[in-house]
Amino acid sequence: MTIRPMCETDLDPVLAIEKQSFASPWTKEAFEQELRKPFGICLVAEEEGAVLAYLVAWRVMDEVHIANLAVHPDRRRLGAAEALMRFLESRERSAVWMGLEVRKGNAAARSLYRKLGFFETGLRRRYYQAEGEDAILMSKVLPEQKK
């Protein structure tokens, strides 16, 4: 598995994964905007040239917010999401905090984030409006790294 920056040519497979993963998927235009943001971090995990997962995050000052992470349904629970998260943390060595929202009902994702050292720190009621589902806020204080 290779992790690399997302590019425009990745958008078709990324959108296919997005549509299979979320009831209210991001649009192509939303991903295009993320690719242009100076504070945006867009990554893909690929194997044999095929995109199997992606991650979108924002780096603001010394904090990283994970905005979107999904894995192709046929490739879930094989380590791609964990690899993307670990790559992001190693890439953003000067950050002191990482955070995200995750569906309350997504036990697999919550378990992965706990494994990676995140703690559940809050609740956003009805955050996922289309489904009326709550979001759990999860965050992690990052260890001080030598620069």
Q: What is the DSSP letter of 81?
A: H
Residue range 47-69: average pLDDT?
Answer: 96
Query: Which pLDDT belongs to residue 132?
Result: 84
Residues classed as catalytic: 101, 113
Query: Quick check: is 146 in a domain?
Result: no
**β-strands 97-103, 2-5 pairing:** unpaired
- CATH code of the domain in which 76 resides: 3.40.630.30
Residue 147 within a domain: no
The number of distinct structural domains making up the chain is 1
126 vs 114, which has greater pLDDT? 114
Q: Is residue 51 part of a domain?
A: yes
Task: Say whether pTM exceeds 0.95.
Answer: no
State the Rg of the chain over Cα.
Answer: 15
Tell whether the model's pLDDT for residue 147 goes beyond 60: no
Residue 69, in any domain of the structure? yes
Residue 77, domain extent: 2-141
Sequence-distant (6+) residues with CB within 8 A of 143 are none
| CA distances from residue 97 to 62, 88, 119 in whole angstroms, order as listed | 7, 12, 12
